[in-house]
Homo-oligomer: A and B are copies of this chain.
Amino acid sequence: MKQTILSLVLLSAVILSFTTMQTKKKILFFGDSITQQGAGPNGYIKKFDSILSQKGLSSRYETIGAGISGNKVYDLYLRMDSDVLAKSPDAVVIFIGVNDVWHKRTSGTGTDADKFEKFYNAIIQKLKAKNIAVYLCTPTSIGEKNDFTNPQEGELNAYSAIIRKIASDNKCPVIDLRQAFTDYLRVNNTDNKDRGILTTDGVHLNMTGNIFVAQTMFDVLSKSFTR
């Protein structure tokens, strides 16, 4: 009898752990070098993991980094099958756009606005066809000045507006990093520096930036978390 009870308890534990394993949701972060670094030590994905842990959600959510340096929107589209769909994520956070604007200046290889929108929509359609939840991030910054003198800031804002429109068209939540950065820098960049507040070089996140991005993402994503 004792043995039978013990067996049942063990079985229950096994079933429970299996169920837990089954229901652990995968959140994939899909982007460029910011996301590639985000999966490294002190990166925003690691910070996101820490928040999950603090909130006691680590058993229910796990994160996957899928960032590659230099990626623009069409590079994401090219590697969707291997880097995203093959991993069966429950949610994908798309964080792209900085290079689409930045490379216009640095190498003459940015992305036209109409094509940016077209590829972005194609990515969303592929994810939706697999019932994957999609979150859209606006791009963070190319220069941190807060008096509207970052050279490519106007265009970065224009592409952010395109992303907000795509999100609205597709009924996807927006993680408005561009707005969050602008608001944060207005208050905290008292010396109007072009780097060093949330980034190391105007683009790539420093420690504060990684924490800030993780928290901003968590605030939006957690609204959809099952209780």
- Contact residues of A with B, CB < 8 Å? 74-75, 77-78, 103-105, 107-112, 115, 118-119, 122, 143, 147-155, 157-158, 161
Contact = CB atoms under 8 A, between A and B. Distances in A.
A181 to B, nearest CB: 13
A163 to B, nearest CB: 12
Contacts of A74: 74, 77-78, 119
Contacts of A111: 109
Nearest to A118: B78
A144 to B, nearest CB: 12
11 contacts: A75-B115, A77-B78, A103-B108, A104-B107, A104-B108, A109-B111, A147-B157, A149-B154, A150-B154, A151-B154, A152-B154
Give the copy number. 4
A158 B152 CA distance: 11
Contacts of A77: 74, 77-78
Contacts of A112: 103, 107, 109
Contacts of A115: 75, 109
B161 A153 contact: no
A4 B108 CA distance: 73
A68 to B, nearest CB: 11
Contacts of A154: 143, 148-155
Contact of A108 (B105, B148, B153): B105
Contact of A149 (B143, B151, B158): B158
Nearest to A158: B149
A65 to B, nearest CB: 21
A122 B152 contact: no
Given A147-B157, A147-B161, 12 more contacts: A74-B78, A77-B78, A78-B122, A104-B107, A104-B108, A107-B112, A108-B108, A148-B154, A151-B154, A151-B155, A152-B155, A154-B154
